[in-house]
Amino acid sequence: MRVAFLVAPEGVEQVELTEPWQAVLDAGGEPVLVSTESGEVQAFNHLDKADSFPVDRTVAAASEADYDGLVLPGGVANPDALRTDDAAVAFAKSFFDAGKPVAAICHAPWTLVEAGVLEGRTLTSWPSLRTDIRNAGGTWVDEQVHVCTSGPNTLITSRNPGDLKAFNSTFVPAFGG
């Protein structure tokens, strides 16, 4: 199981990157950090700078064909930056086009709103995204983890870091781990 983790150069919520990353490793999988720029990404603990992590591959050099699934960690700034990057949006959308599973937590569905892949889908997120998801044709629910199979792929979503245990134990098996 090879899993792409798509993040912006700055702003990913550290725990929403590191805990799913560890879940993939624990399942014997290979997590790959994909970003819009090479070098390192700066993670945050809410609004405070946290650790930085080396980028394994840029979006320009990545292809969904190389991965079994896509994880989109949150943090407010992270998906907000990703959704303004055409290549990042296209990379996320390519997993839907290929019918591969996608997992997104907290604010991460903003990237999916921009990708235009939420029509007819049911998902959860940080509550402030509710209107954006509805405007994109999706149905928002307030659940710890939600699995939506009413589309070309499986979409697994959670609301916040407090849901990480349920998020990880749901997306890893769906990705083949």
The C-alpha atoms of residue 63 and residue 80 are separated, in whole angstroms, by 22
Whether 107 is catalytic is yes
Q: Using alpha carbons, list the distances in angstroms from residue 96 to 30, 44, 105, 149.
A: 20, 28, 17, 11
Show the tokens assigned to 140.
Answer: 């928002």
Whether 146 is catalytic is no
SS3 25: helix
- Residue 109 class from Cβ within 10 Å (0-12 exposed, 13-18 middle, 19+ buried)? buried
Side chain identity at residue 94, one-letter code: S
Contact between residue 156 and residue 70 where contact means Cβ atoms under 8 Å apart: no
**Radius of gyration of the chain from its Cα atoms, rounded to whole angstroms:** 14
List active site positions.
106-107
